[in-house]
C-alpha cells in the first residue's frame, strides 16, 4: 500500500548574504508509517572547491550529528511520542536544526506517495545530492579561481604590483575589495563566480550586488567598480548568466568576463598610467 510522505533537502549555506547553497542531505518523514530517516553526504570536496574556508572536519561532524539526531527522533516517534504531538514537519525538523541558525538549513518541504520509503530516501538523495558530487568536485569554480586569468593578464602589463586591498566603509556597512588601486579615485575589482549548480542561484547571487553598491556609494571615498565574472560551465545556464550580467550592468559598473582579461588589464594599465597614490 502506498504511503504519503514529506521530505526536505538539507543545504549547506556558506555565506548568509549571498545565500549560495549546496545540497548535502535529505530527510523523509511519513506520519502514517511512523517513518523518519535521513541521509547526508560527508564529502566536502565540492564545497571547498566552491567556497573557501570550510572546515572539513567540522562539516563531517555536523552532518553526522544530523543523521544521528534524526535516528534518535525516529526511535522516539516509534516508541514514545504520539504522532499527534508533532504539529508539522517543520516543527520536527526544528528539533534537529533551529531555523535560520548556522550554515546547515532545511529547504521548504516537498511531498509524495510511495510503497518503498527507504527507497525514496536513496532516490531523493541521488537526485538532489549524489548526482552532483562528482561533477561539482571537478568543475565548480570559486571566486578566487576567477581571479587567475585576470592576474596573469595584469602580470604581463606589470600592473599586479600596484594592486592592494581596499575597504569601502559607510556608517552601516563595510566591504573589502581584495584587489584595488588608486589614481585619483579607487579602482576596485570584485571577482564573482557564476559557475554554480542552479540557474536561480546565479540570478540570486547577482541580485545582492545592487544593494551593496548602493550602500557603498554613501561612502565619502570615490571609487569605480570592476566586476570580473566567471561564466557557468554548464551551457544550459548561460541564459541565467546573461540575466545576472544585466543586473550588474544596472549598477553602472564595468563588467569583464574571463575571456576579456587582456582588455581589462589594458584598461586598468591606462587608468593607472600617471601614478598610484
pLDDT in tens, 135-183: 444 446 788 889 999 999 999 999 999 999 999 999 989 999 999 999 8
What span, in angstroms and rounded, lies between the C-alpha atoms of 214 and 252?
Answer: 11
Indicate the average pLDDT of the chain.
Answer: 85
Is the pTM of the predicted complex or chain greater than 0.95? no
Which domains, and CATH codes, for the chain?
A: 3-139 (no CATH), 143-271 (3.40.1350)
Q: Which three cell numbers stand for residue 257?
A: 568576463
Name every residue whose Cβ is closer than 8 Å to that of residue 228 and which is 6 or more positions away in sequence: 146, 147, 150, 189, 190, 191, 192, 256, 258, 264
Q: Which of 81-85, 128-132, 143-147 has the highest mean pLDDT?
A: 143-147
| DSSP label of 115 | S
Residue 72 reports pLDDT greater than 70: yes
What span, in angstroms and rounded, lies between the C-alpha atoms of 58 and 170?
Answer: 34
Pair 37, 118: CB distance under 8 Å: yes
| DSSP label of 84 | G
| Number of CB atoms found within 10 A of residue 31's CB | 17
Q: Please list the residues that pair with 188 across neighbouring strands.
A: 180, 225
Amino acid at each position: 500500500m502506498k504511503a504519503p510522505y514529506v521530505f526536505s533537502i538539507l543545504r549547506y549555506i556558506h555565506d548568509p548574504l549571498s545565500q549560495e547553497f549546496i545540497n548535502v542531505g535529505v530527510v523523509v518523514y511519513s506520519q502514517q508509517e511512523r517513518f523518519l530517516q535521513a541521509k547526508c553526504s560527508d564529502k566536502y570536496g565540492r564545497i571547498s572547491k566552491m567556497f573557501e574556508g570550510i572546515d572539513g572536519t567540522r562539516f563531517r561532524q555536523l552532518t553526522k550529528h544530523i543523521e544521528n539526531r534524526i535516528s534518535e527522533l525516529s526511535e522516539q516517534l516509534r516508541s514514545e511520542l504520539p504522532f499527534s504531538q508533532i504539529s508539522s514537519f517543520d516543527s520536527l525538523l526544528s528539533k534537529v536544526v533551529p531555523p535560520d541558525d548556522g550554515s546547515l538549513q532545511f529547504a521548504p518541504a516537498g511531498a509524495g506517495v510511495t510503497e518503498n520509503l527507504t527507497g525514496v530516501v536513496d532516490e531523493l538523495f541521488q537526485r538532489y545530492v549524489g548526482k552532483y558530487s562528482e561533477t561539482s568536485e571537478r568543475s565548480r569554480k570559486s571566486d578566487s579561481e576567477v581571479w587567475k586569468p585576470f592576474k596573469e593578464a595584469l602580470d604581463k602589463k606589470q600592473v599586479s604590483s600596484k594592486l592592494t586591498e581596499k575597504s569601502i566603509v559607510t556608517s552601516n556597512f563595510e566591504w573589502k575589495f581584495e584587489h584595488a588601486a588608486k589614481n585619483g579615485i579607487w579602482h576596485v575589482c570584485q571577482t564573482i563566480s557564476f559557475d554554480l549548480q542552479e540557474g536561480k542561484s546565479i540570478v540570486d547571487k547577482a541580485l545582492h550586488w545592487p544593494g551593496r553598491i548602493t550602500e557603498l556609494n554613501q561612502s565619502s571615498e570615490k571609487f569605480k567598480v570592476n566586476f570580473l565574472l566567471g561564466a557557468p560551465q554548464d551551457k544550459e545556464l548561460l541564459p541565467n548568466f546573461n540575466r545576472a550580467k544585466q543586473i550588474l550592468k544596472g549598477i553602472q559598473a564595468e563588467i569583464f568576463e574571463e575571456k576579456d582579461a587582456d582588455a581589462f588589464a589594458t584598461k586598468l594599465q591606462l587608468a593607472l598610467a600617471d601614478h598610484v597614490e
